[in-house]
Chain A
Amino acid sequence: MKLIVAIIRPDKLNDVLESLYRAEVKGLTVSRVLGHGGETDAVETYRGTTVKMELHEKVRLEIGVSNPFIEVTVRAILEAACTGEVGDGKIFVVPVENVYRIRTKEKDEAAVTPALH
């Protein structure tokens, strides 16, 4: 059981969501974040002053997965989020102690298995 944290480009979010959906990975959290990973700074101009944007908009995905899904999920994100240029992002696979599903009080593997409707 792992927590997969992925930082990706905002314009790749759609591709990643589609790719995860195809891999049958369901249940995730998405947040907008600011970050910097060594890519070229974007230069913008406002009222005559030139500004270097050192922090770029990124999207962070957090996905709790059971062991058989770790590889599948990572692969899906790697394929969909890649443009080949600096700034594509990173994936962190983090160990998880326990997971609880609030609605049913289920624990661990059962809690990260998608609910049937």
Chain B
Amino acid sequence: MVSSVLSAAALLAAAVQEAAAAAPPPTVSPADTAWMLVSTALVLLMTPGVAFFYGGLVRAKNALNTMMMCMAAFGVCGVIWAVVGYSLAFGTGGNYLGDFSFALLNNVGLDAKGTIPHVLFMAYQASFAVVTATLIAGAIVDRMRFGPYLAFIGLWTVFVYAPIAHWVWGGGWLSKLGVLDFAGGTVVHINAGVAATVAAIVVGRRKDFGRQAMLPHNVPFALLGAALLYFGWFGFNGGSALASNASASQAFAATMLAPMATLVVWMLLDYFRNKHATAVGAATAIVVGLVVITPAAGFVSPQSALFMGALGAIPSYYAIVWRSRTRLDDSLDVLAGHGVGGMTGALLTGVFADAAWGGTNGLLHGNPGQLLKQATGVAATIVYSAIASFVLLKAIAMVSALAADARAQGRGMDISQHGEEAYTNGEGALLVLETVEAQPAARPAKVATAGGVA
């Protein structure tokens, strides 16, 4: 009896050893888990960062609507990600799309995915999906109705973001091709920049576009937003190593250095063009620098990160100058910041990538082919994102108008879409009580309006 138990145990142990020798079972690393928990929270902070960045740049009457477009993505895109988005992006699937094996977060448990729990990997990717959808808002603020906007970003997460995430990170065709995208230059920034441009065109221009200068109502908010983005981006890029290791440290340093260089070059460009280094320009420069280094953060040396940041300022700066002379109403320059910035970053990754720093060699290290691969990734993302976003918007437009009418835009999107104001002074506001018994006996029918002037 005893001997048979012992022999069974021995057999089991032998089987376990055999399995271990064949393929060591993935284990969860506490250190990696700790860093990824922090990174996930950092990336989640980027969504309010975008809300403040965009919210400060719009007019006062649209401030709440703009910030709500960002904050609401937590709800809509977060839930959709859990229901189906994660599975479509990271399920095994094929070259172009995942599958439904993780739908409704089935099979997403505490087992190791790499060296962190699978559930944490899913949460980290969810924070990316939310912030990416948020970026689109910048092109259609001041005019797109809230309902159709939510429908668009929800569908976009499923039909545009998830497939492209699968191509690059989920084992799809771009990753097999060898395209380098460390933290989402193509998946997040080019993708969102292109979708935003398409949305700006399909939704149409703002009521007073081209007649009235639409000035930022709170530049300190824009700077606060840029600062929150900078902070959160250490999780976005540093966390993309998916481990607490040298690669994460390298990405962290690159993420710190690149926007610094961008800021210096941007202020110089601003100074030579306008005789002033502007605060809105500085906020934009920080975001552009972060976008440019995103695909390269874990593949280039710190020196290259500085160069990339400095070079990256130029295309985006002139894209903004060019855009403001066109009839394209990309309200907050998502195309210039994220689209052009993302393309610059993706292509420069093919130039500066260095095998000694964790990447594949790029052009500067004797491998011009990498630049071609990067260009393929860029082109594929542009084409798919533009076509799919266009189709989604046109489909929504068949059900409901995309843009608010001129009257609603004139009163402001805060009142027309949300029934709230960002900066109400409360004068002339009467409390409406719904319960009959709680009504005060005598309330003046109207507040004193000094003779009803208007």
Question: What is the interface of chain A, defined by CB distance below 8 A to chain B?
Answer: 7, 9, 11-12, 14, 18, 33-38, 41-46, 49-56, 58, 83, 87, 89-90
A54 touches B454 (CB 8 A): no
The yes or no answer to B276 lying at the interface (CB within 8 A) is: no
Q: Which residues of B contact A14 (CB under 8 A)?
A: 208, 211-212
12 contacts between A and B (CB under 8 A): A7-B454, A14-B211, A18-B211, A35-B452, A36-B452, A37-B454, A41-B430, A46-B420, A53-B429, A54-B446, A55-B428, A58-B454
Partner of B419, one of A37, A38, A45, A55: A45
Q: From known contacts A14-B211, A50-B434, infer whether A56 and B454 are also in contact, taking CB-CB under 8 Å.
A: yes
Q: Interface size on B (CB < 8 Å)?
A: 25
B428 touches A37 (CB 8 A): no
Q: From known contacts A9-B410, A14-B212, A54-B430, infer whether A90 and B419 are also in contact, taking CB-CB under 8 Å.
A: no
Q: Which residues of A contact B427 (CB under 8 A)?
A: 34, 55
A51 touches B453 (CB 8 A): no
The yes or no answer to B447 lying at the interface (CB within 8 A) is: yes
A49 touches B431 (CB 8 A): yes
Closest residue of B by beta carbon distance from A18: B211
The yes or no answer to B411 lying at the interface (CB within 8 A) is: yes
Q: Which residues of A contact B432 (CB under 8 A)?
A: 43, 49-52
B416 CB to closest chain A CB (Å) equals 10
B428 touches A53 (CB 8 A): yes
A51 touches B410 (CB 8 A): no
Question: What is the interface of chain B, defined by CB distance below 8 A to chain A?
Answer: 208, 211-212, 407, 409-411, 415, 419-421, 424, 427-432, 434, 446-447, 449, 452-454
Q: Which residues of B contact A9 (CB under 8 A)?
A: 410
B429 touches A36 (CB 8 A): no
CA distance A52 to B446 in the complex (A): 11
Q: From known contacts A36-B428, A53-B428, infer whether A11 and B454 are also in contact, taking CB-CB under 8 Å.
A: no
Q: Which residues of B contact A7 (CB under 8 A)?
A: 453-454
A106 CB to closest chain B CB (Å) equals 31
Pairs of residues from A and B, 9 with the lowest C-beta to C-beta distance, nearest first: A55-B428, A11-B410, A35-B454, A37-B454, A36-B449, A50-B432, A54-B428, A52-B430, A7-B454
Closest residue of A by beta carbon distance from B412: A11
CA distance A54 to B430 in the complex (A): 7
Closest residue of A by beta carbon distance from B429: A51
Majority secondary structure, A binding face: strand
CA distance A46 to B64 in the complex (A): 13
CA distance A52 to B419 in the complex (A): 11
Closest residue of B by beta carbon distance from A58: B454
The residue among A18, A35, A56, A90 with the most chain B CB atoms within 10 A of its own CB is A35
Q: From known contacts A36-B454, A50-B434, A83-B407, infer whether A55 and B421 are also in contact, taking CB-CB under 8 Å.
A: no
B327 CB to closest chain A CB (Å) equals 18
A55 touches B447 (CB 8 A): yes
B311 CB to closest chain A CB (Å) equals 40
B420 touches A45 (CB 8 A): yes
CA distance A87 to B446 in the complex (A): 16
B428 touches A42 (CB 8 A): no
CA distance A87 to B454 in the complex (A): 7
B421 touches A44 (CB 8 A): yes
Q: Which residues of B contact A83 (CB under 8 A)?
A: 407
Q: Which residues of B contact A41 (CB under 8 A)?
A: 430
Q: Which residues of B contact A53 (CB under 8 A)?
A: 424, 428-429
Closest residue of A by beta carbon distance from B449: A36
Closest residue of A by beta carbon distance from B411: A11
The residue among B407, B431, B432 with the most chain A CB atoms within 10 A of its own CB is B432
A90 touches B454 (CB 8 A): yes
Q: Which residues of B contact A33 (CB under 8 A)?
A: 453
Partner of A54, one of B208, B421, B434, B449: B449
The residue among A11, A49, A83 with the most chain B CB atoms within 10 A of its own CB is A11
A16 CB to closest chain B CB (Å) equals 12
Closest residue of B by beta carbon distance from A83: B407
B430 touches A90 (CB 8 A): no
Q: Which residues of B contact A87 (CB under 8 A)?
A: 454
Given contacts A43-B419, A54-B446, 20 further A-B contacts (CB under 8 A): A9-B410, A14-B208, A34-B427, A35-B454, A36-B449, A37-B452, A43-B432, A44-B419, A44-B424, A44-B429, A50-B431, A50-B434, A51-B431, A52-B429, A52-B430, A53-B429, A54-B430, A55-B449, A56-B454, A90-B453
Closest residue of A by beta carbon distance from B208: A14
The residue among B208, B428, B447 with the most chain A CB atoms within 10 A of its own CB is B428
